[in-house]
Structure formats: C-alpha cells, structure tokens
Amino acid sequence: MRVVQGVAVVFAAATLAFLLLHLAPGDPATALGEGIAPAVRATIRAQYGLDDSIVTQYGRWLWSLVRGDLGWSRAQHRPVAAVLGEALPRSLFLMGCALGVSLLGGMLIGAWQGARAGSRRDRMTSTALLVVYSLPEFWLALVLLVVFAHQLRWLPATGITSEMYGYMGAGAQLMDRLRHLILPLTSLSLVGVSVFARYQRNAMQESMTQPFVRTARAKGLTEPAVRWQAWRSALLPVLTVTGVMLPALTTGAVFVERVFSWPGMGYAMIRAIEARDYPVVSAGVILGSAVTALGAALADLARELADPRLRQP
C-alpha cells in the first residue's frame, strides 16, 4: 500500500510540475535572450516539439518516462540522467548530514528542556529556538555567508571544493571538503534543530509526568536513569515529525544550494528553470518527490519499530 501511495504522489507531483512549466510564460527559445532571429527561434521550437499542443507534449513526455527515458537537457546538451546523476548524490549527502544534525541536536536540546520544563533556562532556550524557527533558510544562509565568508573570511563562500583541491593531500582534501560543508550544513540544520527540539521538549515534558517515572524514582533509580527511560518513551513524536520535515528540508536545500553554489539538485533545478530546461525540471521534481515519499515511508517504519502497537495487522 505504501508503494502505491508513493508512486501516486510522485506521478501527481511530476504531472503538476509539467503542466505549470508549460503554462508559464516563455520557453527554451525565448530563454536564449535578445538578438536571436525569429527563424532560429521557430526552428528550435519545431525541433523540440514546442509548437505541439500541451496534450501531445504531455503524452510524449509520459511515454518517454514509462520507458525510463528522462529526456535530453536542452541547456547542457547531455542526457537528463547524467545531469541529475551528478547532482543527486551531492544533495543527498547535504540533506542527510542536515537531517542527522537536526535530529541529534533537536533531541538533545529538547530532552534537556523537557527535563527542566518551566525553568528560566527552558524559557530562554524556547525563545531562542522560536526566533531561529521564524527565519527562512535562505536568509540564514545569506547572513552566514556575509559574516563568516566575506567579513571574517573564516570559511569558503561557494562551491564544494577549492580550486587547488586536486593538488592537496588526502588529509587536506578532507579538511577542504569539511570547510565547504560547514556553512550550507549550518544554514540547513538550524531550523530543523528548532523544530525537533520543540517536539522533543513537549514529548519529554509529558513523559516525565507519567506513572512509570514516579515508579522508577520510588525504586531508587538515579535521575539520569529516570530521564533516559522518559526520553525513550518520548521518541515517537520526534520520529513522526521526521517524515513531515523531509519536504521542508528538500525545499530549503534548493535555496541553500543556490546561495552557496553547492552543485546539487537544487542548484541544477534553479539553473534549469532559468533556462526553461523543462526535462531537467520535470525529472528533478520526480526525484525529489521520490526521495520525500521514501523518507516518509522510512519514518513510518521507524515509528512502528519504536512502538509495535502501530503495526498494521
């Protein structure tokens, strides 16, 4: 059932993206800029079938998709599969690191808050997290870029490696990659940390009031042991929100990659949109939807493993 739902979501997202792209003003011929002869534009439209009706174009695109053909990038002059195959691993790496940092940081902060709910430190931390949560990722990325890359010059501003990367030793190459990762990862993780911390705090606060906590204290367990048991009981809401966070993380990665010129899916998608490169955008939406649907399914499985009562008979 999950597989059918996932396929339906991916198909609906891809179809919607196709329709919106083709209904929007402009096409690859107009994206060439000024100074192009009308005859050249007409030749390009005829070559790519852009003069056909949108129904005909949709049927041709759908048939290619069923055959496993993602199409040809008109802007980069190579298969779409090669374009996305080069960019997808970089985005998955960045998003995976951001999700891990968000989960770990959010759970630690939220558990610490929940165990001290109502205290002054809890209120101050909640206020700070709310401020961070209210800030969009691209604005955070721009602030970090200006402060740490341009003013302080502590970290590189753009790219995934330095120009001299190929001439470095193994240790220097690793450090160079880490330095380029810090700013995009921080920009993408801060909002996630605030979201996970909020859910973890509320779940931890509720868990600390349960009867098993009083029983554990009555048996003489140390406070760290009691909090550990309460934290394990409070994991379920955090695992639930992980599936909800994946679409937001994917969207945030698009803007963060653009700010830092991180050569991933988001950066490739924005360049394709600017060039009206429809096949790349459509295939990118399909991959993004598939990753989101897969992540949501994995989050459901994690919830069922954490609480066997949720398993379907």
Q: Are 284 and 272 in contact (CB under 8 A)?
A: yes
Contacts of residue 308, Cβ cutoff 8 Å, sequence gap at least 6: none
pLDDT digits (tens, 9 = 90+) for 57-84: 888 888 888 888 888 887 788 888 898 8
Q: What is the pLDDT of residue 312?
A: 54
Q: Are 216 and 229 in contact (CB under 8 A)?
A: yes
Q: Are 275 and 28 in contact (CB under 8 A)?
A: yes
Lowest mean pLDDT among 128-137, 196-205, 250-259, 297-306: 297-306
Q: Judge if pTM exceeds 0.75.
A: yes
Angle, vertex CA 247, rays to CA 246 and CA 251, nearest 5:
115
Of the candidates 190, 223, 227, 237, which has an alpha carbon nearest to the alpha carbon of residue 112? 227
User: What 3-state DSSP class applies to 264?
Assistant: coil
Alpha-carbon distance of 195 to 130, in angstroms, equals: 9
Residue that wins the pLDDT comparison between 241 and 197: 197
pLDDT digits (tens, 9 = 90+) for 18-48: 888 777 776 666 666 666 777 777 777 777 7
Q: What is the pLDDT of residue 254?
A: 84
pLDDT digits (tens, 9 = 90+) for 215-226: 878 887 787 787
Domains and CATH numbers, the chain: 80-310 (1.10.3720.10)
Of the candidates 18, 83, 94, 81, which has an alpha carbon nearest to the alpha carbon of residue 252? 94
Alpha-carbon distance of 106 to 133, in angstroms, equals: 12
